[in-house]
Amino acid sequence: MSGNEYILFWTEAIRQLRENGDISEQEHDMWFKNMDFIKGDLNTLTLNVPSNFFRDQIKQRYLFLLESRLRDITGNPMKINFEIRKNAKKADNPKDLSTRDKTTNHQQKRKPHHQLRQDYDFSNFVIGSNNFFAASAAQAIGLNPGGAYNPFLIYGGVGLGKTHLMQSIGNSIHYLLIDKKVEYITAETFINEFIHSIKSETQSQFKNKYRKVDVLLIDDIHDLQNKKETQEELFHTFNALYEAKKQLVFTCDRPPSELRNFADRLKSRFERGLNVDIQPPNFETRHAILRKKMESVSTNIPDEILELIAKNVTTNIRDLEASLTKIVAYAELVGKRITVEIAQRQLKGNFTSSIPSNISIDRVQRAISEYFNITLADLKGKKRTKKISFPRQIAMYIIREITDYSTTEIGLEFGGRDHTTVMHAYQRIEDRMKGDPTLEPILNALTRSIRGDN
């Protein structure tokens, strides 16, 4: 073999990983399509990747998988080497190429973006199963704005990293693709600027400002609910940028379909590209985030304290940071090693209560399965017989009515169903209530007993 024929090993490895379901189509497009085979021999394959960051992610996620697959195919222990691409193929301006790889000291090369926080970048963002997809797509957009994922919309609860991720896209483009103009704005400021432009008769300046950017990042678009005129304006801005293949990124506290008092045509624009959610992090990710935050703190906090915080603060990352800040401040103040006991005492008020303040999904599910005399497993399961699906719809309806859970969260608790299924169930029950006067009293009685009112 001449060296280049070893590409067969590479393509076969990918084919097998795909076939065995080790990597999804999304992962394939996101990561594997961006690696090019360069050369090989009996012991090594050399691949070309777009950035250091990309290489590190591949190593962390897939190296073991890839190397063991290659060993199976060739019967040899195989190692993979990475080379960082010198002239990344997606850059359209040759000027940018030299800056592309130097992500570590890029800050010195260009002034920080005036609207973006410098510490909101990918290197400070910990990837876990809760945000994997959102983070992967964000990175891809950071390297190639206006490409496959447009518009890109990140949704999820407060403090889960939406703004951090959105600004990371902005920073990545600002430093690596220096001819691209990035504009970041919260929906609230967008509304205020728009209103101001009407009052001061400067609407055309306002329009121009937003229509000549390459990347528009609008944070917290749920704030546009009820703002009819601003929605209208954004609709036109959206169209102008979208047609010019400019990148649009939005964040929202819920899936766009759940926005109320929102123009349908704008909602459907949001849904046109890629919508991904961020979920609350699990213990491991919370722990990893705390360790990451410790890198920028000079005080030493023992790992057992980080674990304690990760275990007990489960709501979101903002709360996690608040606990860490508190304990660091305390450690600095008293100047001694923090013990678990001290931390427990200091953080009592920060820990997530083990008694849920509102009704849990599980409680409703149990009550409904009992009332209809079906098993909990069936209620949450895949069966679609009427005996099961009707109680299931009722359970979803009641949860939606009396708890704060989003339809996404509810769907997850019903065997990982999609949020649209939950919305559909809700609608079905509402429709049925209109035609069947006996249904509402039953639902009311059930709700009262779940709430513990009787």
Residue 131 binding partner per list ligand ADP, Mg ion, none, with a CB distance cut-off of 5 to 8 Å that depends on partner kind: ligand ADP
Q: CB of 259: closest distance to Mg ion in angstroms?
A: 16
- Of all residues in the shown chain, the one whose CB is closest to Mg ion is 163
Q: Which does 318 bind (CB under 5 to 8 A by kind): ligand ADP, Mg ion, none?
A: ligand ADP
Q: Which is closer to ligand ADP, CB of 10 or CB of 122?
A: 122
Least Cβ distance, residue 218 to ligand ADP (angstroms): 13
Q: Identify which of residues 91 and 289 has a Cβ nearer to ligand ADP in the complex.
A: 289
User: Rounded distance, CA 335 to CA 121, Å?
Assistant: 32
* 158 contact choice in Mg ion, ligand ADP, none (CB below 5 to 8 Å, kind-dependent): ligand ADP
Closest CB to ligand ADP among 129 and 375? Answer: 129
400 interacts with, out of Mg ion, ligand ADP, none, CB within 5 to 8 A per kind: none
C-beta of 154 vs 359, nearer to ligand ADP: 154
- What residues make contact with Mg ion under the rule CB under 5 A? 162-163
Which residue, judged by CB position, is nearest to ligand ADP in the bound state? 161
If contact means CB under 5 to 8 A according to the sort of partner, which of Mg ion, ligand ADP, none does residue 126 touch? ligand ADP
What is the CA angle 409-413-416, rounded to 5?
90
Tokens, residue 280: 């609350």
Judged by beta carbon, residue 228 or residue 318, the one nearer Mg ion is 318
- Minimum Å gap between C-beta 118 and Mg ion is 17
User: Measured from the CB atom, is 317 or 343 closer to ligand ADP?
Assistant: 317
- For the CB of residue 316, give the shortest distance to ligand ADP in the complex, in Å: 7
Which does residue 317 touch among Mg ion, ligand ADP, none (CB within 5 to 8 A, set by kind)? ligand ADP
Q: How many CB atoms lie within 10 A of CB 116?
A: 19
Sheet holding 182-186, edge to edge: 182-186, 215-219, 247-252, 152-155, 274-277
- The CA-atom distances, in angstroms, between 425 and each of 220, 275, 306 are 27, 22, 42
Quote the least distance from Cβ 388 to ligand ADP, whole Å. 36
Closest Cα partner for 398 from 357, 436, 451, 356? 451
In degrees and rounded to multiples of 5, residue 46 shows phi and psi of -110, 130
Min dist. Cβ of residue 313 to ligand ADP (A)? 12
Q: How far is the CB of 126 from Mg ion (least distance, A)?
A: 17
Residues near ligand ADP (CB under 6 A) are 124-126, 131, 158-164, 289, 292, 317-318, 321
For 108, residues 6+ apart whose C-beta sits below 8 A from its C-beta are: none
Q: CA-CA distance, 177 to 89, in Å (whole number)?
A: 13
Token pair in block for residue 194: 């728009």
Question: Which of Mg ion, ligand ADP, none binds 321 (CB below 5-8 Å, type-dependent)?
Answer: ligand ADP
β pairing state of 79-84 and 36-40: unpaired
| Among ligand ADP, Mg ion, none, residue 312 binds (CB under 5-8 Å by kind) | none
Q: In whole angstroms, how close is the CB of 328 to ligand ADP at the nearest point?
A: 14
- Judged by beta carbon, residue 322 or residue 342, the one nearer ligand ADP is 322
Angstrom distance (rounded) from CA 449 to CA 222: 34
Contact 343, 331 (CB under 8 A): no
Nearer to ligand ADP, 142 or 161 (CB): 161
CB atoms within 10 A of CB 411: 20
Distances in whole angstroms, Cα of residue 18 to Cα of each of 32, 68, 121, 369: 10, 15, 31, 39
Radius of gyration of the chain (CA): 26
